[in-house]
Chain A
Amino acid sequence: MNWLDMVVLASAIFGIAIYGMWYTRHRRDLQAYLRGRGQTPWYAIGLSVMATQASAITFLSTPGQGYLGGLSFIQIYFGVPLALIIIAIFFLPDFHKLNVYTAYEFLEKRFDLKTRLLGAALFLLQRGLGAGLTIYAPAIVLTAVCGWPLHWTIIGSGLLVMLYTVKGGSDAVTVTQKYQLAIIFAGMLTAACLLIGRLPDNLTLHDSISLAGSFHKLNAVSFSTDPGERYTIWSGILGGTFLMLSYFGTDQSQVQRYLSGSNLRESRLGLMFNAVCKIPMQLCILSIGVLLFLFYQFQTPPMFFDAAADKYLKSHQTDTTLTDYQSSFNQSRGQLTKALGDWIEARHANNQVAESKALTLAKAAKDKSDAIRAEAIADVTAKSDDVKANDADYVFITFILRELPHGVIGLLMAAFFAAALSSKAAELNALGTCTTIDFYRTIFKAGATDEQTLLATKLITAAWGIVTIIFALCAQLAENLIQAVNIIGSVFYGVLLGLFVVGFFIKQVKGNAVFIAALAAQSIIFALFFSATVSYLWFPLIGCTICVIFSIVLQKYFDRKIDNGDTNQLANKETIS
């Protein structure tokens, strides 16, 4: 990065933070701080919901997913349209009618206080952990770019986001997210255009599709019924619907975004905007990964994308094992590039025999280079604690730094940080709001005035900022970043969704039954998670189903005991809402 990149990056980071603080300089009432002034139009809500979900991890890690695994990751978003329609029809009217600050207030109105607190606690637990990863991702970027120590980068970026969020509140989050998304899309579009421009001149669109398809990078939809296969159309539609239903319907960081609308119509349209745009948007981001794959078939990629591994390689030039890996890797990549050159020529000459032969040679060369790379990564990972086995997160950033011109590098860095700021701000805002409204004002200081609650919200938000920084400092990920975030969410979301599904749809179930059922279901999900026998996409569905079934069975049991004259039950004291 040179001075131009730094100017672009610093202008975006500090400009957005300062703008957010300036815009909300006159906000001194609790309502505006927690939920905005209630004047947000549907398109701003839609962009805010989109920006909250699309963190820096999305833009940093997803192209790496596309590069290594092709388009199959898109299947996780198949549940978005149906989930958002369900929320728009069933969840939103009650949230608006009850005029809630947090989604968990609904649980108290429907069941009781302990169920509300359980729902809020599940949210705080998973979002607190997830928010740590949200700042871990941009910290990796800056570490790779500037060579700064990872820990200090996490602390610095975490404190900056914390300052902006604590000062700004909900309204600032919503208004700045519009501009942050503009920077993000400008950056990604620029990168895609430059990437296409760097492909060989004689590689046509048809050649590109054929080549990407030959190496299984276009396998977007899998109809496999193997439960161990992570991304399939079934896990996407069934599991994905439950995952997205949980995320958009019960996660306060999202609920708070669409409740900032002036009425139900604005909130609904904001959600439908995302229902239409989410899949094409993710496809575009994954396609950048496929373009990266094509690019690196004609240019020799680094053997290690992880900057720490590359640094290790350069500082151990006397290690003959590593230099042997590097030379063998370069040799096989050279063979691959040559074979693909022959393949293009044969295709354009309509020589099918030569085309098939060249493709076979190319695949063999690629398999060989992949095997060498895997062996080298295993070797370096064993020798250095700093090196990660999964370097998918570094693919896109490596391309940006090595191949793109100055100015554009700064723009993309700004895009990553804009994404990080937007989602991080919403998360901290939600964590602070939930802790204050669901715990502080309910248990610890029930009679707090609005001024006291506002001050408490700011202090609690700051405290969450510090907690998430600590989580980020402790993050040691074997998984790809974006998968890690989804896995954490999946472990808790199912039961949380189960509470809401019972609340909305199963009127005969009361508080005690659903509370015990939720605890039992969460225990089972933990057991499944640690046994690692089922893809994480199924956890929300399983957790929700167990919670719902257990609730019904337990309620029938309680009802029967009441019918039998057992007075030692609390169930009959509960109010049915």
Chain B
Amino acid sequence: MTDKDPLPKEIGSDLTGLPWPKTWRGLYTFVISNFVFWLALLTALTGLGS
């Protein structure tokens, strides 16, 4: 492996090929937002018990 090896075309692509989110950056943001949602929900659930 060297830095000079060309990347296959699809490795450099920023498109997910999905209707939504269209870009990888968008998909990663969605994944993090989804985690924050569940974390907030679980924290609220913990608050109900205390």
27 pairs of residues in contact across A and B, judged by CB atoms under 8 Å: A71-B45, A81-B31, A81-B32, A81-B35, A88-B24, A88-B28, A93-B7, A93-B11, A97-B5, A97-B8, A97-B11, A110-B1, A209-B48, A212-B49, A213-B50, A216-B49, A217-B49, A219-B50, A264-B10, A268-B16, A268-B24, A269-B16, A276-B30, A276-B34, A279-B35, A280-B38, A283-B42
Query: B17-50: contact bitstring with A at CB < 8 Å (1 yes, 0 no)?
Result: 1100000100110111011001100110110111
Known: A109-B1, A263-B10. A218 touches B45 (CB 8 A): yes
* A577 and B1 form a contact (CB under 8 A): yes
Q: Looking across the interface, which residue of chain B has its beta carbon closest to that of A110?
A: B1
* B42 and A221 form a contact (CB under 8 A): yes
Query: A175-217: contact bitstring with B at CB < 8 Å (1 yes, 0 no)?
Result: 0000000000000000000000000000000000110111011
Query: A93-133: contact bitstring with B at CB < 8 Å (1 yes, 0 no)?
Result: 11011100000001001100000000000000000000000
Cα A577 to Cα B5 in complex, Å, equals 11
Instruction: Collect the chain A residues with CB atoms within 8 Å of residue B30's CB.
Output: 276
Which A residues contact B (CB, under 8 angstroms)? 71, 74, 78, 81-82, 84-85, 88-89, 93-94, 96-98, 106, 109-110, 209-210, 212-214, 216-222, 233, 263-265, 268-269, 272, 275-276, 279-280, 283, 577
Cα A84 to Cα B48 in complex, Å, equals 31
Cα A265 to Cα B15 in complex, Å, equals 9
Question: Which one of B2, B10, B31, B42 contacts A85 once the chains associate, using CB atoms below 8 Å?
Answer: B31
Which B residues contact A (CB, under 8 angstroms)? 1-2, 5, 7-8, 10-11, 13, 16-18, 24, 27-28, 30-32, 34-35, 38-39, 42-43, 45-46, 48-50
Cα A216 to Cα B45 in complex, Å, equals 11
A-B contact count (CB 8 A): 89
Instruction: Collect the chain B residues with CB atoms within 8 Å of residue A93's CB.
Output: 7, 11
Question: Known contacts A221-B43, A221-B46; can you find 10 more A-B pairs with CB under 8 A?
Answer: A78-B35, A81-B34, A85-B31, A88-B24, A263-B10, A265-B13, A268-B16, A272-B28, A276-B31, A279-B35
Instruction: Collect the chain B residues with CB atoms within 8 Å of residue A110's CB.
Output: 1
Cα A166 to Cα B9 in complex, Å, equals 36
Q: Looking across the interface, which residue of chain B has its beta carbon closest to that of A75?
A: B42
Instruction: Collect the chain B residues with CB atoms within 8 Å of residue A269's CB.
Output: 16, 18
* Shortest Cβ distance from residue A328 to the other chain B in the assembled complex, whole angstroms: 29
* Shortest Cβ distance from residue B37 to the other chain A in the assembled complex, whole angstroms: 10
* B16 and A97 form a contact (CB under 8 A): no
Instruction: Collect the chain B residues with CB atoms within 8 Å of residue A279's CB.
Output: 35, 38
Cα A268 to Cα B42 in complex, Å, equals 27
Cα A94 to Cα B11 in complex, Å, equals 10
Cα A38 to Cα B46 in complex, Å, equals 44
Instruction: Collect the chain B residues with CB atoms within 8 Å of residue A268's CB.
Output: 16, 24
* A78 and B7 form a contact (CB under 8 A): no
* A219 and B38 form a contact (CB under 8 A): no
Known: A81-B32, A279-B35. A94 touches B10 (CB 8 A): no
Cα A265 to Cα B23 in complex, Å, equals 11
Known: A213-B48, A264-B11, A265-B17. A275 touches B31 (CB 8 A): yes
Cα A222 to Cα B49 in complex, Å, equals 12
Cα A268 to Cα B18 in complex, Å, equals 12
